[in-house]
């Protein structure tokens, strides 16, 4: 390395003069970007948080040429994660590529809120079934599966490319036995007989930028990441409002929906959740600057969508619910199992 110090210094200067980090990738500096690219050129790819403990190896002539190319691509705007094919999320090393959005630091707020909820559900119910909508590279789905062994996760994304990358990530992390991925427009590919009233937790990091504002995204994002990952329709909330409408049919009573929201969207989203009659106990989670970035809400236990039909005297205090349509018509038949047993969860749950 010492003999290659001039090369390091020259490339560092090039990055310092010609490249600026984006606010949504706060970890990146010229120094650690160059170290990550150096290791990529040496065929030892790692994400920035894993640079510690990696000495920079001596590069042969071919690897030095490759490093020059990587630095030039970074200066021209190719995201670091697309060059290293690695991205850290929630302490886990993911594979990254142009097939799906690069996981962002801010989404760790959603993952943390969802993991807290998941762990309390596991305490109450034993094994927990999670559905992660808009799964992208599988970062939220797989972070939950990695940190909580007593759950199974199904991640869904409308993009077949994203589903391919998420499946590779599940393999890469050895989690394919508990995390699977399917292509679906939100919940449309989830069969009612297998999922209606059967899910304990739904998570979602939707696209939530208005279509007009996606035209103003920095080139590094606009030219390298799919618009599908950002475009939330004319007002930015097209997917969020659909999730609030569609999730209750799939969630058990007294179960949870956790969503990332854009800065400033929290009050409207909380209002929609409360007005939906399907949710109560709306919790908000803030970033370090005090802005709400994730919202978690619990489905009502005994309101219109599920009627308790016993007094909670079942073994372990669990209750039996009968699923209803909004007009109290019972759901039944082959399509939907109309009896659901739910373990008790205290009122203080999730607060
Ligand atoms: C903001 S990205 C989130 C990706 C990943 N969960 C993350 O946190 O990095 C939104 C994702 O939603 C997907 N998406 C957009 N519309 C969708 C829809 N109608 N149904 C399912 N997925 C959708 C996009 O393909 C994209 O992968």
Pocket of ligand 1 (CB under 6 A): 100-101, 103, 107, 133-136, 139-140, 156-159, 162, 185-186, 205-207, 228-229, 239
Please report the pLDDT score of residue 246 as a whole number.
95
Please report the pLDDT score of residue 322 as a whole number.
57
100 CA from centroid of ligand 1 (Å): 8
**Same domain, yes or no: 278 and 143:** yes
Find the mean pLDDT for residues 140-147.
98
Total Cβ atoms within 10 A of residue 334: 7
Domain limits at 76? 2-84
The verdict on residue 171 lying in a domain is: yes
**Same domain, yes or no: 306 and 247:** yes
30 CA from centroid of ligand 1 (Å): 30
334 CA from centroid of ligand 1 (Å): 31
**Same domain, yes or no: 246 and 327:** yes
**Same domain, yes or no: 185 and 239:** yes
Cα distance between residue 94 and residue 138, in whole Å: 9
Write the pLDDT tens digit of every residue in 156-206. Answer: 999 999 999 999 999 999 999 999 999 999 999 999 889 999 999 999 999
**Same domain, yes or no: 267 and 313:** yes
**Same domain, yes or no: 243 and 281:** yes
308 CA from centroid of ligand 1 (Å): 35
Q: Max Cα separation, the chain?
A: 78
9 CA from centroid of ligand 1 (Å): 39
The verdict on residue 233 lying in a domain is: yes
- For 46-55, 68-77, 150-159, which range has the lowest pLDDT when averaged over its residues? 46-55
Cα distance between residue 99 and residue 105, in whole Å: 19
Which atom number of ligand 1 is nearest to the Cα of residue 132?
6
Which atom number of ligand 1 is nearest to the Cα of residue 159?
25
> Is pLDDT above 70 for 19?
yes
CATH assignment of the domain containing 131: 3.40.50.150
* Total domain count, the chain: 2
**Same domain, yes or no: 160 and 219:** yes
Please report the pLDDT score of residue 301 as a whole number.
75
> What single-letter DSSP state applies at residue 228?
G
Please report the pLDDT score of residue 252 as a whole number.
95
- For 43-47, 137-141, 257-261, 310-314, which range has the lowest pLDDT when averaged over its residues? 310-314
The verdict on residue 97 lying in a domain is: no
**Same domain, yes or no: 77 and 144:** no
Q: Look up residue 278 and give its two tokens.
A: 């399907």
**Same domain, yes or no: 113 and 37:** no
Among protein residues, the one whose CA lies closest to atom 6 of ligand 1: 135
The verdict on residue 102 lying in a domain is: no
Find the mean pLDDT for residues 2-13.
84
**Same domain, yes or no: 150 and 246:** yes
The verdict on residue 89 lying in a domain is: no
**Same domain, yes or no: 76 and 210:** no
Please report the pLDDT score of residue 128 as a whole number.
97
181 CA from centroid of ligand 1 (Å): 13
The pTM for the full model equals 0.87
Please report the pLDDT score of residue 315 as a whole number.
63
Cα distance between residue 202 and residue 212, in whole Å: 28
Over the chain, what is the mean pLDDT?
89
Q: Best substitution site from 99, 229, 232 to test ligand 1's pocket, by max atoms within 8 Å of Cβ?
A: 229
Q: Which of 340, 299, 342, 297 is nearest to 317 (CA)?
A: 342
The verdict on residue 99 lying in a domain is: no
Cα distance between residue 111 and residue 155, in whole Å: 14
Cα distance between residue 48 and residue 75, in whole Å: 17
Please report the pLDDT score of residue 329 as a whole number.
43
The verdict on residue 350 lying in a domain is: no
293 CA from centroid of ligand 1 (Å): 16
Among protein residues, the one whose CA lies closest to atom 18 of ligand 1: 185
**Same domain, yes or no: 334 and 271:** yes
Give SS3 for 15: helix
Among protein residues, the one whose CA lies closest to atom 17 of ligand 1: 158
Write the pLDDT tens digit of every residue in 277-312. Answer: 899 999 999 999 999 999 999 999 743 344 555 555
> Is pLDDT above 70 for 331?
no
Alpha helical stretches, state H, 223-345: 238-246, 266-275
Give 129-150 as a DSSP string.
EEEEES-TTTHHHHHHHHH-TT
Strand order in the sheet with 319-323: 306-308, 319-323, 339-342
Q: Look up residue 113 and give its two tokens.
A: 């809120």
The verdict on residue 184 lying in a domain is: yes
């Amino acid at each position: 390395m010492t003999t290659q110090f001039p090369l390091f210094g020259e490339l560092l200067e090039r990055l310092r003069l010609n490249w600026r980090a984006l606010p949504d990738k706060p970890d990146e500096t010229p120094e650690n970007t160059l170290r990550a690219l150096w290791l990529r050129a040496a065929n030892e790819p790692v994400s920035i948080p894993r640079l510690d403990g990696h000495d920079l190896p001596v590069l042969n002539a071919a690897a030095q040429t490759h490093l020059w190319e990587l630095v030039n691509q970074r200066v021209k705007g190719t995201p670091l994660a697309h060059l290293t094919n690695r991205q850290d999320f929630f302490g886990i090393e993911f594979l990254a590529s142009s097939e799906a959005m690069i996981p962002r630091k801010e989404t760790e707020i959603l993952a943390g809120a969802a993991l807290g909820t998941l762990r309390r559900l596991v305490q109450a119910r034993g094994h927990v079934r999670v559905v992660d909508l808009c799964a992208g590279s599988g970062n939220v789905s797989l972070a939950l599966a990695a940190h909580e062994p007593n759950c199974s996760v199904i991640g869904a994304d409308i993009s077949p490319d994203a589903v391919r990358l998420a499946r590779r990530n599940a393999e890469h992390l050895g989690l394919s036995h508990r995390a699977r991925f399917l292509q679906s427009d939100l919940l449309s590919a989830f069969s009612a007989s297998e999922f209606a009233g059967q899910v304990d937790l739904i998570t979602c990091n939707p696209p939530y930028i208005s279509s007009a504002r996606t035209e103003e995204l920095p080139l590094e994002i606009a030219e390298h990441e799919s618009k599908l990952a950002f475009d939330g329709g004319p007002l930015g909330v097209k997917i969020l409002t659909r999730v609030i409408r569609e999730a209750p049919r799939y969630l058990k009573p007294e179960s949870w929906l956790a969503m990332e929201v854009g800065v400033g969207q929290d009050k409207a989203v909380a209002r929609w959740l409360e007005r939906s009659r399907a949710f109560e106990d709306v919790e908000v989670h803030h970033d370090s600057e005090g802005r709400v970035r994730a919202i978690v809400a619990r489905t009502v236990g005994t309101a219109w969508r599920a009627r308790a039909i016993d007094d909670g005297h079942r073994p372990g205090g669990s209750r039996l619910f009968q699923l209803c349509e909004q007009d109290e018509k019972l759901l039944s038949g082959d399509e939907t199992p109309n009896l659901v047993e739910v373990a008790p969860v205290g009122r203080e749950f999730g607060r």
